[in-house]
Structures are given as structure tokens and as C-alpha cells.
Structure 1
Amino acid sequence: MTILKPSTSPEPSPESLTFAELGINSALCSVLPAGLKHPTRVQQLAIPAILAGRDVLALSQTGSGKTLAFGLPLLQAIHQQLESVSSSASNAQALVLVPTRELAQQVTMALHAPASKLSSSLNIQLLCGGIAQEEQLVELTAKPQLIVATPGRLLDLCTQSHISLDSIKYLVLDEADRLLEMGFWPDVQKLMAMMPKRKQTLLFSATLPEALDSLAGKLLTNNPQRVEASTRNAVAADIEERLYLVNKGSKAQALIALLKQYRWPQVLVFISARDDADAIAKRLLKAGINAAALHGEKDQTVRSQTLSDFKAHRIHVLVATDLMARGIHVDALPVVINLDLPTSAPVYVHRIGRTARAGANGLAISLVCHGEMPSLTAIRNLTARELPLASLADFPVTDKPSERVREDGTDNKVAPKRPPRDKQANRRSLNKHSIKAFKGKR
């Protein structure tokens, strides 16, 4: 596989290079957003390879313009095909698979803007859960040429014979590392079995663990090219990272104190558990902070409205699970706070990548307790960053590290032995409970 990296390929000046020079035709260039003058690094490297018909694995930081890096070549190819046959009645030619509904909606919106100006017959269809299937079936009668979908909903429609994938010429796995994991991979495999073997496959992601490298390589067979627009698993240089060691039980109070002290105009707070997201949002509201929770158990209409309200600054603090960690763009989001560290190190990179997008600066704060040291060690190893822990004013740490966790964050894997007296006491208690269980009621 040919590999293009920043260090091994000439980097044209972004102020001078144009989309036309990458091979984007004049018709598509004329409908690009007014503020989009020059291609980003991943667009510079990926677009020519995609237009040349090669399979591509593109690794680039969050917020670097990956959607248009694959989207513009797809729109150009589909538009040229429509013009050559003068018909919009063909089956779908391109499929973009994404892991979450929110990302599916965002990708659809990003591609629909230039597509609608390019041609009235170039149809893009969003297929994801949370939307009535009957409604989507009606929209499918318009014969979309490009489909953006989550794997589960698309597989449902395919198995019910509502849609065919036998005309797919271009397949994109956006946030490819997530789609290659076991949670999605079985469905992705089933969908790929319904497509022609001869197609162009494009994998895009901000992170790619080494364990998934070989699997990704097996999917790319057509003169593949690997594009590394940034160092593997890298954090954007414009993100300032601060990590504070706090007691586990003090995290909510510390979050409230930070929000009240700095009064940032907009903050995205990440938390792993859905129930905890609701509980934290309620505590923030009680503290006088305009907040809301967003997670997968909420109705899709509520999810869409909550995200819309946050982007429009009608909600100042959004407490979200990791469905917001990947790909979701919020203009000029100044701060991301990890109320807990993710157990998966790549998720950390995606979480903090919601800030400092499109060249802006951003701040990422993580509140870390002793029990999260193994997760912190994994994040340090993945990102090759020191990530020192600081103390937070007015929140002294009184919790003690677990005996199972060394100071470097690794697990001793040896549980501390109980004193003999404790064992004997436990046996006596167990015997008492056992005897009582067999005594009749008086």
C-alpha cells in the first residue's frame, strides 16, 4: 500500500492550492461554500487519490475536513454519471456508513448543501434509526444516488428488500475504527456481502488502533493508498489539555465550581453512563446552570432538538455520552470537559477533538480520580503525551490509591489478602445467616 504522510510528501502552501488543482471540476467548485477557499491537508492528499479510483485509508485529526475529502469526489463522480445518462432513476451508487445517528445527519447536511446546488436530480438519502421507517420508504421512491446510513437501519431495510446495494460503486466507512469494532463489524460485513466486489472503498478516521490495521488492509484491494495527514492518533496542536486529580465523589462539585468560575459561553461535558448524564444535568440546573443531557436512550426528536439548541447557544452546557464524541461539529466550541475518562483510549482523542476544530483554539479539561489511572496510562501511551495531573484549588484529594493500582497506573493483578480474623468472622456470619434461613417464622 502506498503511504502518503506529511513528512514524506511535499506540502503545497494552503494559501495557493485550490480545489480545482486537486481535480475538482468547475461545476462543483462553483457551489462550494463561500468561506471554503483552500483545501485542508487531508483533502490535499485524499482527493486526488480518490479521483484516480484508488482505495484509500485516510487518517487525520478531528475537525480537519474529512467529510468533504471523500464527499467532493463522490458528488463529482455521481454528477458526471447523471449527466452522461440523463436520468435520475438509477439505484444508489455511493454509500457512506457512520456509527451514530447524529453523525449521519451531519454528514448528510454537509453533502446536501453543494449537491442541491449542483443538480436537482442528485438525491442524498439519510437512513438511520429514530426516524419512522415508513417515512424513509417514501423518500426512497426518489431513487437516491448517495446514501448516508447507520449499519443497523440500513441492514433492516435491505433484509426487507426495500433497498438494493447491488449498484454500489463507492463505499465509505466514516469513523472507520468504530465500524471495524465488533459492535458494528458483523452488520458491516453483511452489508458488504450485498454489494458488488468491484467497488472503490474509502476508510476515514481520526484514530486507528494497530489491532485494526490488518483488518482495514484486507478491505482495500484496489491499488490502495494510505493517507496520513497527521501523526497516528494525534491530538490537534491547538487543543490545550488540563488534567486535575480529584476525589471520585467530588467530581460534580468540581464541575460546577469550574463552570461558575470561568463562565465559558459553551461547554460540552462527556460522561460514560447514560443515567449519570441525566443526573449531572439535573444537578447543574439546580445550581443555576443552563444545561441538558444527550444520550442514546432519548427519543430521536429530543436528541435532534437538544443538539440543535446547543449549537444555537440556547443550551450552554451539554452533558453527553460518547454518541457526541465522533464527528459532531459545533462551531467554535471553546471547552470540552471529561467528567470521567473513557475506558477506550481512542475515544479520548475523539472527545477532546470536538473543540479546536477548523483551526480554532480549544481547551480540554479532564477530572481524574485514582481509580482511572489505568485509563490515563492507556491514553498517555496512545497519544505519546505526558498529560501531567495537577491539583484543583479548593478540592484537596483525600481518596487513597487502590492497592491494586501502582503509581504508574498499572494493575498489580494481585488482590490484597484478607487477615485471617476477617475470614473467620465472615465464616461465622455466613453460618449464622445459613441457620436463620432454615428456621421457621415464629
Structure 2
Amino acid sequence: MPDARLVDSKASFASFSNVLDARLLRALADLGFARPTLVQSKAIPLALENRDILARARTGSGKTAAYCIPVVQKILNNTAASSSDSQSTRALILVPTRELSEQISAHLRGLVTYCDKEVTIANVSSGTTHHLQRTLLSDKPDIVVATPSKALALLQSKANTTLVIDEADLILSYGHDEDVRQIFSSGYLPKVYQSFLMSATMTDDVEQLKGLALRSPVILKLEEDEDEAANLTQYSVRCSEVDKFLLIYVILKLRLIKGKCIIFVNDVDRCYRLKLFLEQFSIKSCVLNSELPLNSRYHVVQEFNKGVYEYIIASDESIKKGEQDVESEEEDAAETKDDNCDQSKSRKRKHRHKGEGDKEYGVTRGVDFVDVSCVVNFDLPPSSRSYTHRVGRTARAGRSGMSLSFVVPEKEWGKNKVVGCVESTKKDEKISARIEAEQAARGSKIKEYKFDMKQVEAFRYRMEDALRAVTRSAVREARIKELKTEILNSDKLKAHFEDNPLDLEYLRHDKPLHPARVQSHMKHVPKYMLPKIAPVAGAEAPADSVAQDVGFVPFKKGGDRGRGRGRGRGRGGKKKSDPLKKFGR
């Protein structure tokens, strides 16, 4: 095989023609892969030299293709060189969540479009039965994608020559710790095999896996350049729990954020409370959480990526998986004796729901959301690491994006009994300080944004009226209704839609749940409530239109309104303006 090190890392994928099969290059062109990213240009040549690799690169940097491309190429090389007709599994790809396994399987299928007879793929983490999964594996597919628990239940062969662990910093914290150790210690793997560990951060878990899986690895620590980091504009807002609902109503109803948006909350109940609240104002959204069937979750992401939905409310349940900062864990142990009755109730609720939902659910890591303009942390995550992965859903692949995080001051926590309080937000200020410190170390700054609450107050009465309608019983009914609907949808997706793919267009996930009282007059915002934009010095007065009546300018006190433009470039090379350009100073 030609020396892979001769490939120019700055050239297009065509420069890999001496080491990559022509069919693979053609598939890459069809997928829109023109030039390799930094991690791809470094990892692919090393992988084709059979080196073990530990790669750290930011979310959205192209790590999936960095290991999928050499895995497929090596199988094609072995197929061409082998005279034997015996089939064997040559690569095992371990991932922490079922969403990620679906995504990687789809990516691999795209890569083998022109060589699908030579390279077969099986995803054993899908919603198929255990018997069907064993049947799939009995054909000995070339590549198996699985979560560790599924892989452990189905592993029989030692023929694997390549092992990949994606999202290595997360795979142990998703409850796969024992399964991963058993895979390595029970003789399921051959004595000689090549390994890849791919991660966005370096943690103690990654170090453990490094010791288990790698032999004299090449370690790639690839940091984004300043231009790439500048594509993400980050803001935080300090406000009370009830003001979160007020601000999200104003931001979405007046369309102050342009484009697709992911709104992260910290538990399943919050998904439905926020969805029902927004429904009061005819703001459509769909939810994504561990209780929904896998087929429905995967379809929601697909449709969101196509632009069918603008707003996804996603529950990030990393708290239950033990994903917290080390400092936070120490503080939790010290404060156990000071738990109040609200915390006891929270523990009871957690205990009651224990075992519900999909333990292999996760949307903050790995899942590729396309063209996300904004990430809103409605509930601040429990750790700085979770924050990094949440905001990594936007500003991907050279495009610009922004994040907006609500931080509840400790003195404001638990004051509003109508909204209630989320236990994880009690330490928002401490976690926010850690997040800011970590982002500063990466060369990024989180700007504090202060709304001009005098102008926002005009919307408070409507917000409170809507919030009163979203009772606990309404949330419970909505949760049950959505689950029943999506179970039916999931069966349809699995059976009927396999034969009728066009019918997927008629299956939506953002239909109103309406178990709460809905008032028709809340749908529209009267013109007298719309704020007037203050004129910019030296600029001509804008023409009268609703779009020009609404913007970020009215909600900011003072400051220079000419700054805050995004530096990223969208498709076609056009410079995209920051959706919060009028939000910043």
C-alpha cells in the first residue's frame, strides 16, 4: 500500500487517491466532503498505517469520518487481498447512546454506497428484537455498531481487527462501565487489533480506556483555531425561575432568534411544561427525551435537520448518569445534611421514575444536528463538561452560532411556587463560574446580557396567565398523551413507513397536546405591546413593518448597537450575521 504520510493535509480528499478506494472517494463527494478537517487529515493516514490513535477534537470537527473512512478502506483492502470466501466481522464500533449508533450507521451506509456488497454493516443497538439482532450477527457483518451492553450480549467472535470507542469521555458514565471492562477482560477481543478512542475532552474515564484499549498510541490533541472558536457567540442571563418563561416567550414569539434552536432542560417534566407553555402562544415545538421510542427520537432529529421543525425541547438527563464536576460532587457530599424538604421530594420523584425511559438515551453528545442557529440552556447543565457538549450542537463545520444560558441566582431559587424549582439549578451560580473559567481557558468569553426589563414587563401578564394554565396534572396528562402517540408512531415508523417512505412527511412530532386551557387571544401579540426600536445615530429611519418593529435592540440597555456580528460563513461562502448582533454591546 502507498505511504499514507505522503498525503497533503491541506489539500482536498482527491489527494487521498493514493490510499483511498475510488468508490470511497466518489461517496465522499456525494456526501459533500470536499476537504478533510484537521482531525481527518491527521488521523486517516495514521489509521491506515495500523497505528492506535487517541484523538481529542472539538464537537463538530469531523471525528466520525476520521475513523469511519479508514475502517471502510481497511476492509476493502483486506477483501481485495484475501482469497478466502469466509466472512468475518472486522470492526466493532462502541458508542454510548442509541441515537449515536443510528447516526454512525447512517454515515457508514453513505460511505459504502458504491461498495455495499463488499462492506456490510449492522447496528445492533436499534429497536429490533434480541433474536433478530442475533440473526443479523450470524451473517457476520464487516462492521458492527453497538452500545457496550448490546455488544456484550451478542459478542461471539474474536475476528475483530479494529475497535473504535466514540465519545470515549462519556461511555463509562452512561452506565456502561462494567460492560466495557467485561468486553476487554473476558476474551471477546483478539490478541492483536487496532484501536481508536475519539473524544471531545480528556477525562479520567478516557485515561482508563486508554490503558485498556491502546498500545503505544499516537495522541492527537487538536484545538480549533481562533476563527473557529469565534464562530460561537456565548451569552448568559441572570434571572429568576419565572423570568425564564417570560424571556423565552418574548424571544421566540418576537422571533428574536432566527433559524433552528435547541432548548435544553434538565428533566422530562420540564420538556412538557415548557412545550405546553409555548403552546399557549401558538409556538410549535417538539420534545426529545428518554421516554420516547428510539424510532420516534431518531425521526425527530432527521426532520429537524431537514427544517421541518424550528424548535426542539430536549431533556439532558446527564444528572442521572452522574455527570457532574468533581468540585460539585465534593460539595454535594458536604451539603447532604442540609437537604431541605424540597430536596426530599425531588429524591422521591427521582426514585418513583427510576428505571423509566431509555438508559442509552443522549442528545448532548455526538448526535449531528444540522444548521442549528442557537442553543438555549433553559436549565443550566450540572457541569462545565455538559455545557461544552450542549453548545457544541451549534457553530459546527465553520458555521456561526450562538448560545444563551439562563442562570438562576441562589437568592432567587425556589421562590415561585407556581413554576416550582429544579433541584439542579440551585447551584447555577457556582456552575456558571466554572463554565466561564473553562471557556476562558479555551479562549472564549461568555458575555453577560441584561434585558431592559421595563420593556419586557408588558408581556408579563400574558406569561403569568399562560403559566397558571400549565398545572402539574396538565403536564402529567401531556406526558402520557405524547408517549402513547409516539409509541403508535414508532410502530408505524418501523413497519408501514419502511414500505412507504414518502408518508413520513405526514407524520409530525410538534402537534399541540392541549391538555391545558388554551386562550385564542394569546396567539397574537397586539401592536401596542411591540417595543419601538431606538434610532441609531446617523442612520435613516426604517420603513414601517412588523419585522423592523421587532429586534434585540429594545431589550438592551444602552451600549453600541453596531457590534456583535458573527464571523462564521454559511453555505455558499456568504457571511452570516450573528442572530444576536443587536443583543450584545
The TM-score with structure 1 as length reference comes to 0.79
The amino acid across from 2:402 in the alignment is L
Partner of 1:326: 365
Matched, 1:59 2:56: yes
User: Match for 1:389 among 448, 452, 457?
Assistant: 448
The amino acid across from 1:166 in the alignment is K
Whether the 8 Å contact between 1:103 and 1:328 is mirrored in structure 2 is yes
Task: Give the secondary structure class of the aligned counterpart of 1:67.
Answer: helix
- Structure 1 residue ranges without an equivalent (≥5): 1-10, 159-163, 397-442
Task: Give the secondary structure class of the aligned counterpart of 1:358.
Answer: coil
Residues 86 and 379 of structure 1: CA distance in aligned 2, closer, same or farther (over 3 Å): farther
Residues 295 and 19 of structure 1: CA distance in aligned 2, closer, same or farther (over 3 Å): farther
Give the Cα separation in 2 of the matches to 1:103 and 1:228: 23
Partner of 1:169: 161
Give the Cα separation in 2 of the matches to 1:282 and 1:218: 48
| Worse-superposed segment, 90-99 or 280-289 | 280-289
Instruction: Give, in angstroms, the shift of residue 230 of structure 1.
Output: 1.0
Give the Cα separation in 1 of the matches to 2:138 and 2:275: 41
Partner of 1:376: 432
Residues 236 and 91 of structure 1: CA distance in aligned 2, closer, same or farther (over 3 Å): farther
Give the Cα separation in 1 of the matches to 2:266 and 2:86: 44
| Worse-superposed segment, 302-311 or 213-222 | 213-222
Partner of 1:277: 271
Give the Cα separation in 2 of the matches to 1:274 and 1:251: 17
Task: Give the secondary structure class of the aligned counterpart of 2:277.
Answer: helix
Residues 256 and 156 of structure 1: CA distance in aligned 2, closer, same or farther (over 3 Å): farther
The TM-score with structure 2 as length reference comes to 0.61
Residues 188 and 19 of structure 1: CA distance in aligned 2, closer, same or farther (over 3 Å): farther
Matched, 1:37 2:34: yes
Please list, as runs of the form range in 1=range in 2, the aligned pairs for 1:39-438 lying within 5 A after superposition: 39-85=36-82, 89-128=86-125, 130-158=127-155, 164-181=156-173, 183-193=175-185, 194-209=188-203, 211-212=204-205, 214-230=207-223, 236-261=229-254, 262-322=256-316, 323-370=362-409, 371=426, 372-383=428-439, 384=441, 385-394=444-453
Post-superposition CA distance 1:131-172 (Å, at most 9, x none): 3333333333432110111122222334xxxxx241111111
Residues 302 and 23 of structure 1: CA distance in aligned 2, closer, same or farther (over 3 Å): same
Residues 330 and 88 of structure 1: CA distance in aligned 2, closer, same or farther (over 3 Å): farther
Give the Cα separation in 1 of the matches to 2:174 and 2:366: 20
Whether the 8 Å contact between 2:287 and 2:313 is mirrored in structure 1 is yes
The amino acid across from 1:222 in the alignment is R
Give the Cα separation in 2 of the matches to 1:57 and 1:127: 25
The amino acid across from 1:310 in the alignment is F
The amino acid across from 2:175 in the alignment is G
The amino acid across from 1:368 in the alignment is V
Partner of 1:427: none
The amino acid across from 1:367 in the alignment is F
The amino acid across from 1:361 in the alignment is S
Give the Cα separation in 1 of the matches to 2:173 and 2:73: 31
Q: Percent of counterpart pairs with the same letter?
A: 29
Give the Cα separation in 2 of the matches to 1:231 and 1:56: 19
| Worse-superposed segment, 297-306 or 66-75 | 297-306
Post-superposition CA distance 1:17-66 (Å, at most 9, x none): 74517833434223323321211100111111111111111111111111
Instruction: Give, in angstroms, the shift of residue 71 of structure 1.
Output: 0.6
| Worse-superposed segment, 101-110 or 27-36 | 27-36
- Structure 2 residue ranges without an equivalent (≥5): 1-6, 317-361, 410-425, 458-585
Whether the 8 Å contact between 1:175 and 1:326 is mirrored in structure 2 is yes
Residues 122 and 16 of structure 1: CA distance in aligned 2, closer, same or farther (over 3 Å): closer
Give the Cα separation in 2 of the matches to 1:247 and 1:145: 53
The amino acid across from 2:164 in the alignment is V
Give the Cα separation in 2 of the matches to 1:37 and 1:103: 24
Instruction: Give, in angstroms, the shift of residue 229 of structure 1.
Output: 1.8
Give the Cα separation in 2 of the matches to 1:263 and 1:221: 44
Give the Cα separation in 2 of the matches to 1:129 and 1:30: 28
Give the Cα separation in 2 of the matches to 1:182 and 1:93: 26
Instruction: Give, in angstroms, the shift of residue 286 of structure 1.
Output: 2.5
Give the Cα separation in 2 of the matches to 1:282 and 1:155: 41
Instruction: Give, in angstroms, the shift of residue 101 of structure 1.
Output: 1.1
Task: Give the secondary structure class of the aligned counterpart of 1:334.
Answer: strand
Instruction: Give, in angstroms, the shift of residue 236 of structure 1.
Output: 3.7
The amino acid across from 2:124 in the alignment is L
Whether the 8 Å contact between 2:12 and 2:36 is mirrored in structure 1 is no
Partner of 2:16: 20
Post-superposition CA distance 1:335-358 (Å, at most 9, x none): 111111111211111111111111
Give the Cα separation in 1 of the matches to 2:388 and 2:60: 12
Give the Cα separation in 2 of the matches to 1:317 and 1:363: 15
Give the Cα separation in 2 of the matches to 1:61 and 1:368: 25
Instruction: Give, in angstroms, the shift of residue 310 of structure 1.
Output: 1.8
Give the Cα separation in 2 of the matches to 1:250 and 1:87: 67
Whether the 8 Å contact between 2:235 and 2:405 is mirrored in structure 1 is yes
Task: Give the secondary structure class of the aligned counterpart of 2:242.
Answer: helix
Instruction: Give, in angstroms, the shift of residue 187 of structure 1.
Output: 1.2
Whether the 8 Å contact between 1:56 and 1:220 is mirrored in structure 2 is no
Stretches (4+) displaced over 4 A = 15-19, 86-89
Residues 392 and 87 of structure 1: CA distance in aligned 2, closer, same or farther (over 3 Å): farther
Post-superposition CA distance 1:194-235 (Å, at most 9, x none): 2123211110011223x3453243135433111122169x98
Instruction: Give, in angstroms, the shift of residue 121 of structure 1.
Output: 3.1
Instruction: Give, in angstroms, the shift of residue 87 of structure 1.
Output: 5.8
Instruction: Give, in angstroms, the shift of residue 15 of structure 1.
Output: 4.7
The amino acid across from 2:144 in the alignment is I
Give the Cα separation in 1 of the matches to 2:408 and 2:58: 28
The amino acid across from 1:168 in the alignment is N
The amino acid across from 1:30 in the alignment is R
| Worse-superposed segment, 169-178 or 143-152 | 143-152
The amino acid across from 1:391 in the alignment is K
The amino acid across from 2:215 in the alignment is N
